[in-house]
Structure formats: structure tokens, C-alpha cells
A and B are shown apart, each in its own frame.
Chain A
Amino acid sequence: MRTGAEYREALRDGRKLWVMGIGAVEDVTRHPATRAIVEEYATWYDRHRDPEWRDVLLALTGDNGERAPWAFTVPRTKEDLIGMGRSFARTTFLSAGNITHDPAYGNLIALGILTTLQAQDVSQQQIDNALTYRDMIARTGRFITYCGGAPIIGQRLKPDPADRVALKLVRGTDAGVVIRGRLGMHTSPAYAEDVYIGGMSGIDIDGNRAGFIVPVGAPGVTILCRKPATRETNPFIAPLSLRYDEFDGQMWLDDVFVPWERVFFVGPNPDPIARWLRWHHLYGWLAKAEFSLGLALALADAMALKEHEPTVEYLVDLVVEVQTVRSCIAAAERDPDFTPAGYCVPDHRHLAAGGIALFKARQRISEILRILPGSSLVVAPADTDLAAPELAAGLEESFGGGGWTALQRSALLQLAWDHVSSALDGRESAFELHASGGMPNWRGWLRQNFRDYNRLASAVLRSIDIEMPEIDVSNIPNAPITRRRFAAGVPPVAKS
């Protein structure tokens, strides 16, 4: 595993980066808009050398005490899934569920590409290339992120349906392909080294829908990140927002060369790759919920409400939601599936149930955390206010006491505010409602993965003592996932 310093240095690769509302970013490791997250990723790497994290982050791989990162494991047993899951949970919690795209997630992307190809009728060369790539990132720690490949709204509204795709193939050569176009939302491209572009990009090569791995620093690549989540500049008030804005973005490709060993005939359906990613998504959402519960518990103590029954009932509401997801994940890892190549993957029926439960609960979880501390949440001071001579004594009297100084209690209240009432919170919600397709997609995946349709329907008929028709409702799981959304109608002429 490389060091954080090596990762930081790797980002100085000439990448062309623009942050909306800010402008060009010459060096992501130094620019005020991006450097904090670079440091979080640098810490992610360095944590693997921290003795306190060894048991959580490193798997025993042999009888002689050798260890390897869970982050880059190819899981073959449920014990592997449990170990990987524990490492995801512990690391994602640190950012309160805001940093969801890390190099471990990149390993799942690489596994997804590999298992997609293994399940399809592609050449051995394609499979070998995917395997080589996965082994390379496991060996080097190289950071890959994911882009489904969908076009942006302007492209989807073009008059000619043939133009409504994200990418076009410019030409093919013996060494690879040259592609061009613009790709929609994906996360952390400013900090990753590679982006996987999925089969929704629309490029077919010899009748095969292609996915690509494109280096962020390659010639012709421009990354456009969204505006930063608005935040205070004082870390006392914005302890999360200042550190954990992982930046979503778009990518423009201008005649970018992709060698054949980074071109994969994955097909148009992103689901075989998403099967790996949803596991990590659920850990990210759980981390946010667990952080909310942790804050609520800390606030119950800090606000002297831990004996107050209505407050405890709110806490139990949160416990129920958190434990439901924990149980679904436990079931998914302990009752797993296996890919055709023998890799062990969490069972999707269990994951989907957990994801849907959390989608239903997440707004209420945030509301409960806003309710629980009372209106002190709204009026809590900053450390600078507490240090102002005109206010210090009064604020200490107002916010100190019960074993907590005003500074300590205010810090906790500000952390809670930043977690569930900030622009970072709004970004997290808006992003997660789209990133894996939102509730419609998770319901669609459960619809596809649930077993027993005909068995249950036929079983109830056996309670009726007359001859009954045979039931066949297999159309329900067999239906494709509904497309997220598509622009309808003939686009109007642009207004001058």
C-alpha cells in the first residue's frame, strides 16, 4: 500500500480541473477548494500503516502473519465479506458517511468490471485485461471512481436521436480507440486517478457495448466539478463541511485515446457492476445514520436528556432504523451469493431490503436529530463568540454547566448542525437520491431479485379445495429496471 504522500504526489499529473463558481484548479493538492479532501484521502492510505487500525483494515493472508488490505481483497468466502464490510463501516463512519468514494470502492468497481466480463461471452483477452487491471490497483493502491456513462441534459435534448449519447467513437486503431463527448454526474473525479465509464455512454464496437477506463490526467480529459457545498470558513462551525466535500463532477473528453486493454465489452446494463457497489453504498448510508445516532446519544448526554423518556423514545426510533440496516447487511454477508468465477458477493435481496428501509427513514432520522437537542441547536455560538470579551461570560452561563463547558457543548451542537442542517447534508441527500438510481431503482432491484413469486402464489391456491389454474407471474421479476428518466417530446428551438 502506498503512502498518503505518494498518493498526493500522484495527483500532480497535469490534470485539467475546473470547479464551478471557483474556476480552474491548477493543483488539487494545494487549492483551497480541494486540498482538504486530498488530505482525507492521504489519511485513508496512511491509516493502513497505523497500528491501531491494523486489525480493522488488514486481513491475515497466511500462516506467518502476512496481511493485506481488506480494501483490495477479492472475496471468496463470507468471512471475507464480513472483514471487508467491517473495514468499510469503520472508515466511512469517520467522515459521517460523506466520503463514499475511496480506493476500496474503486476495488469494487474493478471487481464489478471483472465479474461482468466473466459472466458474458467475451474474449479471454478481455477477462485477462480486467483481471490485470484489478490486480494492478490492488498492488499500487491506484484510485478509480465510477461513472455510469449517461449523457447530460443538453445531449439528451438533441434533435437527432443518434446524437443523444454521451460519447462517440472517433476512430479505432491497432492500439486502441479515440473517443469524445461529455459525461454526466460522477463522484470524486478530482481526486481519483482513473474513471470507469460504463456502458450507458452509448459506444458500440463491433456490436459490443463498451466501457472504458480513462486516466483523469490523460490528454484531452477535462473535469468539471460542481460548486462546493456552501460552508463557513471556521472549522468550529463547519467541522464536517470543511473536510468531507468529495465533489461530484462531469467529464469532458476531447479526442481521448484509450488503449484496448482499457476497453471492456460490458454490455449496456450497469447492474452487474452495481451489484458490488450497492453493498458499499449501503455502508455509506448506514455510516451517516450511525453518525446521526451517535450525535443524538451524545446530545442526550450533553443536554441532560438521557433520562427523559420522550428523548429516549426518539433515540429508540433511531436505533430501530440503524439496527434494521445492520441486520440486512449481516444477512447479506452471511447468506451470500457467488459469481460464476467463484467470488463471494453479498446477497442482493438482503441489501435491497436494507437500502429501501434507509431510503424511507433518512429524512426522519435527520429530523429527529434536529428535534432532539432542542432550540439550542439553532442558537449555539461559535468558538470566536465564546472568546469575545463582551459575550464570553454570558455565553458561558447560557451554554455551560452540567459537566460541559460552553465550548464543548457548542462544539457538539455545531457538529450536529453541520451534519443535518448544512449544505453538505443537502448535497449528500441530493446525491444519494440519484447516485444509484434512488428508491425506484432499489425497488426495481428487489423486484428482480426477490424469489418465490410463483411459489407463494401457487402455495396459497393449495388452500382452496377445488382445481385451480396454474399461476405464472414471472413477468414481474423479469421486467427490466425502468429507465431513470428520459426527456420527452421534440425539443423547442432555443430562445434567442
Chain B
Amino acid sequence: MRTGAEYREALRDGRNVWVLGEGKVEDVTTHPATAAMVEEYVAWYDRHFDPEWQDILFAPATPERERAAWAYILPKNSDDLIGMGRSFAKTIFLSAGNITHTPAYGHLISMGVLTAVQERNVSAKQIADAAAYREMIADTGRFLTFCGGAAPLGFRLRDNPADRAALKLVRETDAGIVISGRVGMHTSPAYAEDVYVGALNGVKIGEHNASFIVPVADPGVMTVCRKLAARHANPFVSPLSSRFDELDGQMWLDNVFIPWERVFLVEASPEPIATWLLWHHLYGWLAKAEFTLGLALALADAMALKEHDQTVEYLVDLIADIQTARSCLAAAERDPSYTVGGNCVANHLHLLPGGIAIFKARQRISELLRIIPGSSLVVAPSDADLATPELQAGLEESFGGGGWTALQRSALLQMAWDHVSSGLDGRESAFELHASGGVPAWRGRLRQRFPSYNELANAVLRAIDIPMPEIDVGNIPAAPLAPRRVNTIAATPPPPKS
């Protein structure tokens, strides 16, 4: 495992990064828009050298393998999944569920690529290339992020359907291919070293859909990050926003060369790769919910409400939602599936109800945290206000007491506000409603995987004492996932308004 300093140095690779509203970022490690997140990733690597984290972040040696970071284990059994899951849970919680794209997630992407090419089975070389890439990032700690490959809106509205794809193949050579185009939303490209561009990009090689791993710093690559989540400059007021904005972005490719060993021929759907990623997504959402519950419990103590029945009922509401997701994760890891390559993967049949439960609950979870502390949440002062001579005594009288100073209680209230009433919170919600397809995609996946359609339908017929037709509702799971959204393009598009 490399050190955080080595990771930081690796980002000084000449990458071409823009942040909307901020302009060009010459050095992501020092620019005010990006430096804080770089330091969070630095800490992610360095945590692996921290004695206090050893038991959580490292898998013990076994007869089959040496001691290794859970982040880079190729799981072979349920115990591996449980160990990896615990490491995800503990690390994502630290950012309140805001940093969901880490090098460990990158490793899951690489396992997804491996699974996808194993399922497609185009050639042994394809599989060997994917396996070699995964081993390389496990050896080096190189940070990979994921882009489905979908085109930005402007492309999707073009007159000619052939021009609506994100990427175009410019040419093929013996060494690789050259591609151009623009790909839509993905996360942490400013901090990653490679981006996997999935098969939604539209490039076909032969009869196969092509996907690619593209170095962020390659010639011709430009990363365009979204605007920052608006945040207060004082970290007392924005303890999360000032640290955990992982920045989503687009990527523009201008005649970028991809060597053949980074070209992967996969099916059109990104689902084989999502096989691994949904597991991590659910841990991210659970981390946000658990951080919310932690804040709610701390506030119940800080606001002297822990004996208040209605407050406790609100807490139990949060617990019920969190325990449901935890239980689904426990089932997914303890009743796992296996890939065609023999790797052990969290069972989607259990992950999906957990994800859907959180999707249903997340807005209410945020509301409960806004309710529990009372209106003090809205009017809490900053440390600067508390240090102002004209206000100090009055604010101490207003916010101190019961074993908490005004500074302590205000710090907790500000963190709760930053968690569920800030631009960062809004970004997290907007992002997660799209990132893995939102509720429609999670429902669609469960629809495909639920195993008992005909069994249940025919079983109820046996309660009727006359001969009945054989039921076949196999069309329901067999239906493909609905496309996320299809833009309707008028036959004669209106001219742009002047």
C-alpha cells in the first residue's frame, strides 16, 4: 500500500482539470477548491499504516493468501465479504457517507470489469488483461473511478441518431485505438488516476461493445468538474462541507489513445460491473443514515431530550430504517452469490430491498434530524459569534448548560445542519438519485432477480380443488431494465431562441 504522500505526488501528473465556476485548476493538491479532498484521500491511504485501524482494514493471512488490505481482496467466501464490508462501513462513516468513491471502490470497479469480460468471454487475452489490471491496482493502490459512458444532454439531442453517442472511434492501430467525445456524470475524476468508461459510450469494435480505462492525465483528456457545493468558509459552520465534496464531473476526450490492454469488450448493459458496485453504494447510503442516527442520538443527549418519549420514538424510526439496511447487507454477505470466475459477491437479492428501503426512507431520515434538536438547529451561533465580546455572555446563557458549553452544543448543531440542510446534503441526494439509476433501476434489478414468480403463482393454485391452467409469468423477470430516460426529439427541432 502506498502512502498518502505518494498518492498526493501522483496527482501532480499534468492533468487538465476545470471546476465550473472556479476555472482551471493547475494543481489539485494545492488549489482551494480541491486540496481538502486530496487530503481526505491521503488520509485514506495513511490509515492503512495506523495501528488503530489494522484490524479493520487488513485481512489476516490465510493458507491461501498473505495478509492484505481488505480494500484489495479478491473475495472467495462469505467471510471475505464480511471483512470487506466492515472496512467499507468504518471508512465511509468518517465522511458521513459523502466520500463514496475511494480506491477500495476502484478495486470493485476492476473486479466488475473482470467479471464483465469473464461473462462475455470474448478471448483469454481480454480476461488476462482485466485480471492484470486488477492486480496492478491491488499492488500499487492506483485509484480508479467509474463512468457509465452515457452522453451529455447536448449529444442526446442531436439530429442524427448516429451522432448521439458519447464517444466515437477515430481509428484503430496495432497498439490500440484512438477515441474522441464527451462522457457524462461520474465522480471523483479530479482525484482518481484512471477512469473506467463503460459500454454506454456507444463505441463498438466488431460486434462487441467497447469499454475503456483512461488515465485522467493522458494527453487529450480534460476533466470538467461541477460547481462546488456552496459552503461557509468557516469550518466550524461547515465541518463536513469543507472536507467531503468529492466533486462529480464530465470528461472530454480529444483523440485519446487507448492501448488494447485497456480496451474491454463487454455487453451493452453496465450491470455486470454494477454486480460489485451496488454493494458499496448501499454501504455509502447506510453510512449517511448511521451518521444521521449518531447525530440524532448525540443531540438527544445534548438537548436533554433522551428521556423525552416523542424524541425516542423518532430515534426508533431512524433505527428501524438503519437496521433494515444492515440486515439486508448481513444477508447479502452471509448468503452470497458467485461470479462465473468463482469470486464471491454480495447477493443482489438481499442488497436490492435494502437499497429500496433506504431510497424510501432517506428524505424522512433527514427530516427527523431537522426535527429532533428543535429550532436551536436553525439559530445556533458559530465559534466566531461566541467569541464576540458583545454576544459572548448572552450566547453562553442561551446555548450553554446541562454539561455542555455553548461552543460544544453549537458545534454539534452546526454539524447536524451541515449534514442535512447544506449544499453538500443536497448534492448527495441529487447525485445518489442518479448514480446507480435511482429507485427505478433498483426496482428493475429486483424485478429481474426475484426467484419465485412461477413457483408462488402456481403454489396458490394448488389451494383450488379444480384443474387449473399452468401459470407462466416469466416475462416479468425477463424484461430488460428500462432505459433511465429517453429524450424525445422533435422531428423538426425548434431553432435556438435568440
Residues of A at under 8 Å CB distance from B? Answer: 93-94, 96, 235, 239-240, 290-291, 293-295, 297-298, 300-302, 306-307, 312, 315-316, 319-320, 322-324, 326-328, 330-332, 334-335, 349-350, 352-354, 356-357, 403-404, 407-408, 411-412, 415, 443, 446-447, 450, 452-454, 456-461, 463-469, 471-473, 475-476, 479
Partner of B330 from A300, A312, A334, A473 at Cβ < 8 Å? A334
Please measure, in the bound complex, the distance between the C-alpha atom of A443 and the C-alpha atom of B317, giving whole angstroms.
Answer: 8
Residue B338 at the chain A interface, CB threshold 8 Å: no
**In the complex, are the beta carbons of B471 and A327 less than 8 A apart?**
no
A-contact 0/1 string along B314-348, CB 8 Å cutoff: 01100110011011101110110000000000000
**In the complex, are the beta carbons of A327 and B446 less than 8 A apart?**
no
Q: With a CB–CB cut-off of 8 A, which chain A residues contact B290? A: 452, 456
Identity of the chain A residue whose Cβ is nearest the Cβ of B315 in the assembled complex: A476
**In the complex, are the beta carbons of B353 and A353 less than 8 A apart?**
no
**In the complex, are the beta carbons of A471 and B298 less than 8 A apart?**
yes
Please measure, in the bound complex, the distance between the C-alpha atom of A450 and the C-alpha atom of B320, giving whole angstroms.
Answer: 9
Please measure, in the bound complex, the distance between the C-alpha atom of A475 and the C-alpha atom of B347, giving whole angstroms.
Answer: 36
With A300-B476, A463-B94 known, 6 other A-B pairs at CB within 8 A are A316-B443, A327-B332, A350-B326, A466-B408, A469-B302, A469-B408
**In the complex, are the beta carbons of A320 and B301 less than 8 A apart?**
no
Please measure, in the bound complex, the distance between the C-alpha atom of A164 and the C-alpha atom of B213, giving whole angstroms.
Answer: 75
**In the complex, are the beta carbons of A330 and B334 less than 8 A apart?**
yes
- Given the known interface contacts A463-B240, A468-B411, the answer about A327 and B464 at a Cβ–Cβ threshold of 8 Å is no
The smallest beta-carbon distance between A14 and chain B, in angstroms, is 34
- Given the known interface contacts A294-B459, A297-B456, the answer about A324 and B324 at a Cβ–Cβ threshold of 8 Å is yes
Q: With a CB–CB cut-off of 8 A, which chain B residues contact A473? A: 297, 300-301, 306
**In the complex, are the beta carbons of B446 and A353 less than 8 A apart?**
no
A-B contact pairs, 9 of them (CB 8 A): A297-B471, A331-B328, A331-B331, A331-B350, A334-B335, A450-B323, A460-B291, A463-B415, A471-B297
Q: With a 10 A CB-CB cut-off, give which of A93, A315, A460 has the most chain B CB atoms.
A: A460
Chain A binding site: helix, strand, loop or mixed by DSSP? helix
A-contact 0/1 string along B77-117, CB 8 Å cutoff: 00000000000000001101000000000000000000000
A-contact 0/1 string along B188-206, CB 8 Å cutoff: 0000000000000000000
Q: With a 10 A CB-CB cut-off, give which of B94, B354, B460 has the most chain A CB atoms.
A: B460
Identity of the chain B residue whose Cβ is nearest the Cβ of A299 in the assembled complex: B457
- Given the known interface contacts A334-B331, A457-B294, the answer about A312 and B447 at a Cβ–Cβ threshold of 8 Å is yes
**In the complex, are the beta carbons of B446 and A239 less than 8 A apart?**
no
Identity of the chain A residue whose Cβ is nearest the Cβ of B404 in the assembled complex: A469
Residue B469 at the chain A interface, CB threshold 8 Å: yes
**In the complex, are the beta carbons of B324 and A353 less than 8 A apart?**
yes
**In the complex, are the beta carbons of B327 and A239 less than 8 A apart?**
no
Q: With a CB–CB cut-off of 8 A, which chain B residues contact A459? A: 93, 294
Please measure, in the bound complex, the distance between the C-alpha atom of A94 and the C-alpha atom of B320, giving whole angstroms.
Answer: 30
Partner of B328 from A291, A327, A415, A464 at Cβ < 8 Å? A327
Identity of the chain A residue whose Cβ is nearest the Cβ of B90 in the assembled complex: A459
Please measure, in the bound complex, the distance between the C-alpha atom of A322 and the C-alpha atom of B453, giving whole angstroms.
Answer: 12
Q: With a CB–CB cut-off of 8 A, which chain B residues contact A357? A: 320, 324, 357
Q: With a CB–CB cut-off of 8 A, which chain A residues contact B411? A: 464, 466, 468
Identity of the chain B residue whose Cβ is nearest the Cβ of A334 in the assembled complex: B334
Mark out the residues of chain B between 405 and 441 whose CB falls within 8 Å of any chain A CB in the assembled complex: 407-408, 411-412, 415
Q: With a CB–CB cut-off of 8 A, which chain A residues contact B300? A: 473, 476
Residue B122 at the chain A interface, CB threshold 8 Å: no
Residue B475 at the chain A interface, CB threshold 8 Å: yes
Identity of the chain B residue whose Cβ is nearest the Cβ of A402 in the assembled complex: B469
**In the complex, are the beta carbons of A411 and B354 less than 8 A apart?**
no
Q: With a CB–CB cut-off of 8 A, which chain A residues contact B326? A: 349-350, 353
Please measure, in the bound complex, the distance between the C-alpha atom of A457 and the C-alpha atom of B305, giving whole angstroms.
Answer: 14
Residues of B at under 8 Å CB distance from A? Answer: 93-94, 96, 235, 239-240, 290-291, 293-295, 297-298, 300-302, 306-307, 312-313, 315-316, 319-320, 323-324, 326-328, 330-332, 334-335, 349-350, 352-354, 356-357, 403-404, 407-408, 411-412, 415, 443, 446-447, 450, 452-454, 456-461, 463-469, 471-473, 475-476, 479
Please measure, in the bound complex, the distance between the C-alpha atom of A94 and the C-alpha atom of B387, giving whole angstroms.
Answer: 70
Please measure, in the bound complex, the distance between the C-alpha atom of A456 and the C-alpha atom of B294, giving whole angstroms.
Answer: 4
The smallest beta-carbon distance between B350 and chain A, in angstroms, is 4
**In the complex, are the beta carbons of A319 and B464 less than 8 A apart?**
no
Please measure, in the bound complex, the distance between the C-alpha atom of A91 and the C-alpha atom of B124, giving whole angstroms.
Answer: 48
- Given the known interface contacts A415-B464, A468-B408, A472-B301, the answer about A460 and B335 at a Cβ–Cβ threshold of 8 Å is no
Q: With a CB–CB cut-off of 8 A, which chain A residues contact B331? A: 327-328, 330-331, 334, 350
Q: With a CB–CB cut-off of 8 A, which chain B residues contact A330? A: 331, 334-335, 350
The smallest beta-carbon distance between A37 and chain B, in angstroms, is 15
Partner of B327 from A316, A349, A411 at Cβ < 8 Å? A349
**Nearest 8 A-B pairs (CB), nearest first?**
A294-B456, A456-B294, A334-B334, A297-B457, A457-B297, A460-B294, A294-B460, A331-B330
Q: With a 10 A CB-CB cut-off, give which of B412, B466, B476 has the most chain A CB atoms.
A: B476
Q: With a CB–CB cut-off of 8 A, which chain A residues contact B446? A: 316, 319-320, 323
Partner of A446 from B235, B306, B323 at Cβ < 8 Å? B323
Q: With a CB–CB cut-off of 8 A, which chain B residues contact A403? A: 469
Please measure, in the bound complex, the distance between the C-alpha atom of A452 and the C-alpha atom of B289, giving whole angstroms.
Answer: 13
Please measure, in the bound complex, the distance between the C-alpha atom of A464 and the C-alpha atom of B404, giving whole angstroms.
Answer: 14
Partner of A475 from B307, B456, B463 at Cβ < 8 Å? B307
Identity of the chain B residue whose Cβ is nearest the Cβ of A477 in the assembled complex: B319
Please measure, in the bound complex, the distance between the C-alpha atom of A472 and the C-alpha atom of B457, giving whole angstroms.
Answer: 51
**In the complex, are the beta carbons of A353 and B471 less than 8 A apart?**
no
**In the complex, are the beta carbons of B464 and A331 less than 8 A apart?**
no
- Given the known interface contacts A328-B328, A463-B96, the answer about A93 and B459 at a Cβ–Cβ threshold of 8 Å is yes
Please measure, in the bound complex, the distance between the C-alpha atom of A458 and the C-alpha atom of B460, giving whole angstroms.
Answer: 50
**In the complex, are the beta carbons of A456 and B463 less than 8 A apart?**
no
Q: With a CB–CB cut-off of 8 A, which chain A residues contact B328? A: 324, 327-328, 331
Q: With a CB–CB cut-off of 8 A, which chain B residues contact A332? A: 327
**In the complex, are the beta carbons of B323 and A412 less than 8 A apart?**
no
**In the complex, are the beta carbons of B473 and A297 less than 8 A apart?**
yes
**In the complex, are the beta carbons of B357 and A306 less than 8 A apart?**
no
- Given the known interface contacts A320-B356, A459-B294, the answer about A307 and B471 at a Cβ–Cβ threshold of 8 Å is no
**In the complex, are the beta carbons of B323 and A352 less than 8 A apart?**
yes
Please measure, in the bound complex, the distance between the C-alpha atom of A94 and the C-alpha atom of B452, giving whole angstroms.
Answer: 16
Please measure, in the bound complex, the distance between the C-alpha atom of A326 and the C-alpha atom of B456, giving whole angstroms.
Answer: 14
Q: With a CB–CB cut-off of 8 A, which chain B residues contact A312? A: 447, 476, 479
Please measure, in the bound complex, the distance between the C-alpha atom of A453 and the C-alpha atom of B335, giving whole angstroms.
Answer: 27
Please measure, in the bound complex, the distance between the C-alpha atom of A300 and the C-alpha atom of B235, giving whole angstroms.
Answer: 56
- Given the known interface contacts A306-B476, A350-B330, the answer about A463 and B349 at a Cβ–Cβ threshold of 8 Å is no
The smallest beta-carbon distance between A359 and chain B, in angstroms, is 10
Q: With a CB–CB cut-off of 8 A, which chain A residues contact B239? A: 463-465
Identity of the chain A residue whose Cβ is nearest the Cβ of B349 in the assembled complex: A323
Q: With a CB–CB cut-off of 8 A, which chain B residues contact A476? A: 297, 300, 306, 312, 315
Please measure, in the bound complex, the distance between the C-alpha atom of A127 and the C-alpha atom of B340, giving whole angstroms.
Answer: 51
**In the complex, are the beta carbons of B320 and A446 less than 8 A apart?**
yes
**In the complex, are the beta carbons of B471 and A350 less than 8 A apart?**
no
**In the complex, are the beta carbons of A457 and B460 less than 8 A apart?**
no
**In the complex, are the beta carbons of B476 and A315 less than 8 A apart?**
yes
**In the complex, are the beta carbons of B353 and A298 less than 8 A apart?**
no
Q: With a CB–CB cut-off of 8 A, which chain A residues contact B353? A: 320, 323-324, 327
Q: With a CB–CB cut-off of 8 A, which chain B residues contact A453? A: 297
Please measure, in the bound complex, the distance between the C-alpha atom of A457 and the C-alpha atom of B369, giving whole angstroms.
Answer: 13
Please measure, in the bound complex, the distance between the C-alpha atom of A297 and the C-alpha atom of B240, giving whole angstroms.
Answer: 47
Please measure, in the bound complex, the distance between the C-alpha atom of A323 and the C-alpha atom of B447, giving whole angstroms.
Answer: 10
**In the complex, are the beta carbons of B330 and A335 less than 8 A apart?**
yes
Please measure, in the bound complex, the distance between the C-alpha atom of A163 and the C-alpha atom of B454, giving whole angstroms.
Answer: 56
**In the complex, are the beta carbons of A298 and B335 less than 8 A apart?**
no
Identity of the chain B residue whose Cβ is nearest the Cβ of A324 in the assembled complex: B353
**In the complex, are the beta carbons of A239 and B463 less than 8 A apart?**
yes
**In the complex, are the beta carbons of B443 and A320 less than 8 A apart?**
yes
Q: With a CB–CB cut-off of 8 A, which chain B residues contact A354? A: 324, 327
Identity of the chain B residue whose Cβ is nearest the Cβ of A464 in the assembled complex: B411
**In the complex, are the beta carbons of A466 and B293 less than 8 A apart?**
no
**In the complex, are the beta carbons of B460 and A295 less than 8 A apart?**
yes
- Given the known interface contacts A306-B473, A349-B326, A469-B404, the answer about A460 and B298 at a Cβ–Cβ threshold of 8 Å is yes
Please measure, in the bound complex, the distance between the C-alpha atom of A300 and the C-alpha atom of B477, giving whole angstroms.
Answer: 14
Q: With a 10 A CB-CB cut-off, give which of B235, B240, B327, B467 has the most chain A CB atoms.
A: B327
